[in-house]
Amino acid sequence: MRQVFIDGKDRAWVVIKKKILSKRQLFLFLDFDGTLSPIVGHPSKARLSLRLYKQLLGLQKMSRVRLGFISGRLLKEVKNLIRIPGAFYAGNHGFELCGPSWRWSHPAHKMMKGFIRESKKVLRPIISKYPGSFLEDKRATLSIHYRKIQAHKTALFCREIKARLKTIKSFFKIRVIKGKKVIELMPRVLWHKGKALEKIIYQSRTKPGQTCYIYIGDDTTDEDAFCVINRKGGISIHVHDETRKTKARYTIRHQSEVKRLLNRITQAIT
């Protein structure tokens, strides 16, 4: 299906609005980094703006709206950054989930223990060679960040990482996903943000026939979630400032536009 850029195109918004109003309930899923918060030099610097927080809180208070936040960060971290009570949260690319009086984690995270220990050992010499790169151990997954290294060194850095990973990958079942200046390593099992989404939808007891599902995300790992949303007849929105192939049906070019879109959604259902 053709991608539609929403920015400034009211016709695309009219279609979205019609879809939202055609259902009794709305389940809005949002990624965090690059979607609710701009991408920053170090993940610890990312914040949810007060304005966005208030907007999300307002949406959560509406009886017809459910909210879900899906991130590659640790579950407790993403919960702390967003702090919307009563919402569903998925951390670690969907390997850890929680919602009102519910918590779940994928059993595959246990198999990552040995892999992460070995990876840290073999990757550290490369990391120390490239200032600005660092490893983030999230127990179920491992992230190799390189946003801050000098631009002309990124290709070489990625090549070295890839070569080193090859040696460990022969011993462990690992899935490697390249995101925005980050390489994500996760267990090679049939699990991803899309599966997490399905589990949350099931857990929420929302009825697909009566619910409009929306997913807004910006990176490679969100593609699995876009596919699930498309299958459910929902609205998949990709936040990206450049043309990139995506499974999402709609695209917003700038992260700052997310706020405007949430505003429009709020107004439409109020």
For residues 121 and 30, what is the distance between their CA atoms, to the nearest angstrom?
Answer: 34
Residue 180 CB, shortest distance to Mg ion, in Å, is: 7
Element housing 66 (H / E): strand 65-70
Residues that bind Mg ion (CB under 5 A): 31, 33-34, 218-219
Residue 38 DSSP SS3:
coil
Cβ nearer to Mg ion, comparing 72 with 187: 72
Cβ nearer to Mg ion, comparing 184 with 218: 218
156: which 2 tokens? 């070489």
Residue 248 CB, shortest distance to Mg ion, in Å, is: 13
Residue 191's Cβ-side half-sphere holds a number of Cα atoms within 13 Å equal to 24
Element housing 56 (H / E): helix 50-60
Residue 22 CB, shortest distance to Mg ion, in Å, is: 28
Residue 218 CB, shortest distance to Mg ion, in Å, is: 4
Cβ nearer to Mg ion, comparing 123 with 177: 177
Cβ nearer to Mg ion, comparing 219 with 223: 219
Cβ nearer to Mg ion, comparing 123 with 216: 216
Cβ nearer to Mg ion, comparing 71 with 211: 71
Interstrand relation of 211-217 and 174-178 (parallel, antiparallel or unpaired): unpaired
Residue 39 CB, shortest distance to Mg ion, in Å, is: 8
Residue 30 CB, shortest distance to Mg ion, in Å, is: 9
For residues 184 and 176, what is the distance between their CA atoms, to the nearest angstrom?
Answer: 6
For residues 214 and 71, what is the distance between their CA atoms, to the nearest angstrom?
Answer: 15
Q: Using CB atoms within 10 A of its CB, is residue 113 exposed (0-12), middle (13-18) or buried (19+)?
A: exposed
